[in-house]
Structure 1
């Protein structure tokens, strides 16, 4: 009952219904996880009590709940997305005693963005490359965020040309920054190969959407010659699932930009404090992966302008070719969960063997980085690439994003372990396991997962395998209360690892 076929078909006026369904699923996941109380289950219908508004809510399915209904006046009434947003806001006001105008607007914006993306995908052609196809597949996006596709409330025409979910590709804008005003750290030499800067200037690529957003603030710099417009790159870059991180296949290079738009919980700027500690965290992560089959995509350096440090910052990240095992095909883990044409998760002839290979690729390097190097990866679905062989079997994991890495020396072991468990187990493995079981009924993924963790001699493993609950992030409450995205709050979720292993 959790399959994608719960989404209405794309015929007739079905686009609006499909947009409602895609937008409702992650919002329902948040509402049911963070506030509702389960009451009953029958025939694939799950009923919950909403204590704040004293109503019963019923949905179909669990992983991607659909067709929400509320029980009033003696019968069940279907809820469209707008009505679901209103109900959620009522529940949150009663639960927290606080009001929020921002979050309901973001939820509506997210739904409108989904509608625009569905329409654009119907007119566009998906990339032929399976890696790019996996990066650009996330129509649902974060499965436990109330507004995963919100794009800052701006007009669709402002952001749709740069949306990965719309199969976008586009050239980068090339700027020249006066040489004495360039700020950089690390290895940024790859930027100089993107074009030609005139004497006295250095090359600085810019994301065209970001330049649209902050262009007025830079008018004086363009007027007095601190900045020059030098045209665009000769070839296109492809936005990845992270939206502001682009991949240039012809140069095998990732570039991460500032973006003055709230995406999920945060304004996605390259903040000065993160850039200034980048070298330390990236060096630690690279050291943790040296010599192993798993790989770290290094954030090797950044370049920006002193007068627009955060607005124009660009981060240079390793490409794929130097890290992949011979013949391996990289795929985004989040894309495997969302689903895309040619996904090996959906077509695995032996799903149990596929899952064990997946666990072998992903779990040991994340635990080794923690135990041996004090590095806490942000090992969630969008920061993990899983490379597969010619038969679609996972053979390697590649991790990325030094901005999300924490060091035990800074956060402490207990907090670091909680963060790793959330990103690796709750955010990542539970989603992959659920999709795998959905496509292969009868498969129980958790005994293999339990064995995969039990092989590692960390003092925290015994607790992980016996604790009744795991930490789940409360994105709905976090956004409603206006907390900073980094101020994670966790609630206890049932631990699927806490089951006895079979004797054999």
Structure 2
């Protein structure tokens, strides 16, 4: 049983996500009396109070909520919001998934992972609330309570991976060979490839008839649990070897948020194609770097079919770089007992929030605009894919992006040697939409909301963003900086509607006001 305080914090966070998502995605009729809002919904008038108003929708709400003027229970608020969405799965089913996410969040808040002394690992295992605009950021359909104890990063888990050996003639691979750790290599026959397998996935595969047939034919061998322990990152399915630092992105046939986290070979090819583009770029801008994906291996779909290939695809990732990088999502979250976000300590040590933000933009957004303008390559740089490096005085010195499975390349900048049908390639408009959403609407808006809420307010910080973009002189980045500075809107994923409609792979987008433009118009062009 979790404590009442942890449960209350988890429920409040869930209500906040549901209400702010509703405001962003469906724009219900709203009456306002100071900080009190009345949302006209099919269930009645939902009354909420703003503790902090955010121009990008990252509002903070008071705990008390009313429905038609009377106090509303947590479950009534959930149902009222889900009934308003009015599409997709039945409301009671969706409400059950929300409840599951809340229960897991409460557990993580009640028993947070103990610090290990490794700043990178401690941050990776401290994302306890999750995406601020997702209705079920910590749902994990398929994983039970005991599974969380064994495998959840939020609880400080570490465990030993299982391994599956495949005869090389049935393997589909690209990039650097998947080299087994020293403790595993003696168990792998010559002419075979060993795939690391998450213990949960090993349980799933134990019931797979196609894999059993391949074993009977002598093309596959289960090697069981082998090697040194690994620890999971904030993504749950990416793991890091405790001894070597090697990292693998593993498939999980479990629905985390609204995706089943398997990896079709096409997604792995996108990551490797992006890695090749990165490898052939001129020197990246100072302070900006990419944690690249190195290679992948899986069962050839021609042998075992698409589903089993997706259940086995392993992507090897470069180790974390020096400097104790921390995942941005973790350092922007409130602590488990309501403490200030960890990044606030760095900013306060530096002493000037505007100067701190300028330094961060210089190693993050501005370099990403340069790479997009010069090479046509964009990164899925949302807070869970972005790492921040700070010096001893709290100043940001480097930004690292990861997970090239979500990268995107403009078709008009196709480099020599990359096939036009690569899954990395998008139209110019699609690629720009993805970059703006991940790097600005998702990443930068959360950063500014957190810094602004605790210091000078968000609007002055967006004015600093507009100033920085107006100062860009790099010819590759300048046109994109100008567009960001003046476009009236930004794209945002409608996570609530997409989740309810089962559209994880084909999300709905909405347009939201661009706070950079709102600040920029008040300044000289």
The TM-score normalised by the length of structure 2 is: 0.84
1:368 to 363, 367, 370: 370
Q: Identify if the C-alpha distance between structure 1 residues 209 and 332 changes in structure 2 by more than 3 Å, giving closer, same or farther.
A: same
The yes-or-no answer on 1:65 pairing with 2:80 is: no
Distance 1:501 1:165 in 2: 43
Alignment partner of 1:211: what SS? helix
Where do residues 310-389 of structure 1 align in structure 2 (5 Å cutoff)? Answer: 310-321=310-321, 324=322, 328-339=323-334, 343-348=342-347, 349=349, 350=351, 351-389=353-391
Identify if the C-alpha distance between structure 1 residues 147 and 182 changes in structure 2 by more than 3 Å, giving closer, same or farther: same
Distance in 1, matches of 2:151 and 2:285, equals 35
Q: State the alpha-carbon separation in 2 of the partners of residues 99 and 289 from structure 1.
A: 51
**Equivalent position of 1:128 in the other structure:** 117
CA contact (8 A) 1:23 1:114 kept: no
Partner of 2:407: 405
Alignment check: 8 A CA contact 2:386 2:401 kept: yes
Task: Render the CA deviation track for 1:221-275: whole Å, top value 9, x for unaligned.
Answer: 4555543343434422121111111122432222101111222232111112212
The aligned counterpart of 1:302 is: 296
2:85 alignment partner in structure 1: 92
Structure 1 gap ranges (5+): 1-9
Out of 93, 98, 104, the residue aligned to residue 113 of structure 1 is 104
Structural mapping, 1:417-428, within 5 Å: 417-428=432-443
Show the counterpart of 2:276.
283
Whether the aligned pair in 2 keeps the contact of 1:140 and 1:148 (CA below 8 Å) is: yes
- Cα distance per residue 1:76-102 (max 9 Å; x no partner): 31331x222211222122xx5985565
1:469 aligns with 2:484: no
Instruction: Evaluate the alpha carbon distance shift between residue 182 and residue 119 of structure 1 in structure 2; reply closer, same or farther with a 3 A threshold.
Output: same
Asked if the contact 2:490/2:514 (under 8 Å) is kept, the reply is yes
What secondary structure is seen at the aligned counterpart in 2 of 1:210?
helix
Backbone CA RMSD of aligned residues: 2.7
The higher-RCO structure (CA 8 Å, 6+ apart) is 2
Against the structure 1 CA distance between its residues 208 and 46, is the aligned structure 2 distance closer, same or farther, given a 3 Å change threshold? Answer: farther
Q: Do the aligned residues in 2 keep the contact of 1:464 with 1:498 (CA within 8 Å)?
A: no
Structure 2, unaligned stretches of length 5 or more?
53-58, 412-424
Structure 2: distance between partners of 1:317 and 1:144: 28
2: CA distance, partners of 1:339 / 1:436:
12
Partner of 2:199: 208
Deviates more, 1:61-70 or 1:405-414: 61-70
Q: 1:97 to 1:428 in 2, by over 3 A?
A: closer
Cα distance in 1, alignment partners of residues 236 and 471 from structure 2: 37
Work out the CA distance in 2 between the residues paired with 1:354 and 1:114: 31
Give aligned pairs, total.
Answer: 481
Distance (whole Å) between structure 1 residues aligned to residue 334 and residue 104 of structure 2: 19
Query: Does the CA-based 8 Å contact 2:30-2:40 persist in structure 1?
Result: no
**1:128 to partner: Cα distance:** 1.7
Q: CA deviation at 1:54?
A: 4.3
What residue number does 2:45 align with?
Answer: 55
Distance verdict in 2 for CA 1:207–1:224, change over 3 Å? same
- Distance in 2 separating the partners of 1:172 and 1:144: 33
**2: distance between equivalents of 1:12 and 1:473?**
34
Runs of 4+ in 1 over 6 A off after TM superposition: none
